[in-house]
Amino acid sequence: MAHQISVFLENKPGKLQRVTELLAGARINIRAIAITDSGDYGILKLLVDDPDRAYDVLIEEGLAAAKKEVLALLVPDRPGALLPVARILKRHQINIDDAYGFVLQSGTSAVLIIRVEDARKTARLLKKERFELVEEKDLYYL
């Protein structure tokens, strides 16, 4: 399974800089980033090339961080490509807790990152339905 690092940060200038300085100092590469705003605080979501080390570095510096399993689905980069995924998840009553995506350099495929309650069960279901999941070892180097 792939892992996402989430960091709970006060919504103030310089907070992102602190995280990026810590990761850069540890030579950890950020592969994808998303920030969710909730007023005075936000959640920074990161895909990094070494999630275990990133988590340890952030925790050692006193930041409120979590490492969670996520699924990385390879989908075509075209209108409607998310619809079959949404239909299957609905049919099986699986709620998406978090999601974001990015287009690959080829421009023909995209990666959808989703966090669900039971990632392993959902991964088995999606594979059974012939969806291509990107393995953790490959995800951080796309």
Domain boundaries, the chain: 2-68, 70-139
DSSP track, 26-63:
TTPPEEEEEEEEETTEEEEEEEES-HHHHHHHHHHTT-
- The proportion of the chain whose per-residue pLDDT surpasses 90, expressed as a percent, equals 82
| Averaged confidence pLDDT in the chain | 93
Q: What is the model's pLDDT at position 139?
A: 85
pTM: 0.88
Q: What is the model's pLDDT at position 78?
A: 93
Is 90:82 a contact under the CB 8 Å cutoff? no
Of 130, 53, 141, 69, residue with least CA distance to 104: 141
Q: Does residue 83 surpass a pLDDT of 80?
A: yes
Is 6:44 a contact under the CB 8 Å cutoff? yes
Higher pLDDT, 1 or 23: 23
Q: What is the DSSP letter of 78?
A: S
Fold (CATH) for 70-139: VC0802-like (3.30.2130)
Q: What is the model's pLDDT at position 109?
A: 92
> Mean pLDDT across the stretch 99-109?
88
How far apart are alpha carbons 81 and 83 in whole angstroms?
Answer: 6
Q: What is the model's pLDDT at position 90?
A: 97
Q: What is the model's pLDDT at position 56?
A: 98
Q: Do the domains spanning 2-68 and 70-139 agree at the CATH topology level?
A: yes
Q: Does residue 105 surpass a pLDDT of 90?
A: no
Using CB atoms within 10 Å of the CB of residue 10, give its burial: 0 to 12 exposed, 13 to 18 middle, 19+ buried: exposed
Looking at domain 2-68, its CATH class is alpha beta
